[in-house]
Amino acid sequence: MFTAAKDAISSQAARSYVNGLIKRYGEVQELKIDSKAKTVHVLCSLIGEREPVTVRVDNYRVVNEGGKSYVEVKACSCSRPWIQNLIEDHGCGRRVEIPGWAASAL
């Protein structure tokens, strides 16, 4: 039960944080973290897309190295094939630095 509450709070914080990162491209409408299953579900409205886009991170890991925290997406899926290809080419398997609070949340 504690994990579900932590995930709900973390999801809201992550949504706000990601919206700041992608504001030029659109807006995250919904973001749900399941830290136990290591999954993230994101629903967003992207500029130029008529329907909301769904991105699902099916497996991730958090790495702490040199005093910094990183998230590495291991597997993901997307409702738009072109975004799926973009994520596979430039996102999966790469580390992205994240704030310390986000590492604790994941």
Predicted TM-score (pTM) above 0.75: yes
Residue numbers of the domain that contains 19: 2-105
* 10-58 per-position pLDDT tens digit: 999 999 999 999 999 999 999 999 999 999 999 999 999 999 999 999 9
Domain count, the chain: 1
Residue 23: burial class (beta carbons within 10 Å; 0-12, 13-18, 19+):
exposed
The encoded tokens of residue 53 equal 């886009």
Is the distance from CB of 72 to CB of 60 less than 8 angstroms? Answer: yes
* 4-23 per-position pLDDT tens digit: 888 999 999 999 999 999 99
Separation CA 16–CA 1 (nearest Å) = 23
Separation CA 89–CA 68 (nearest Å) = 24
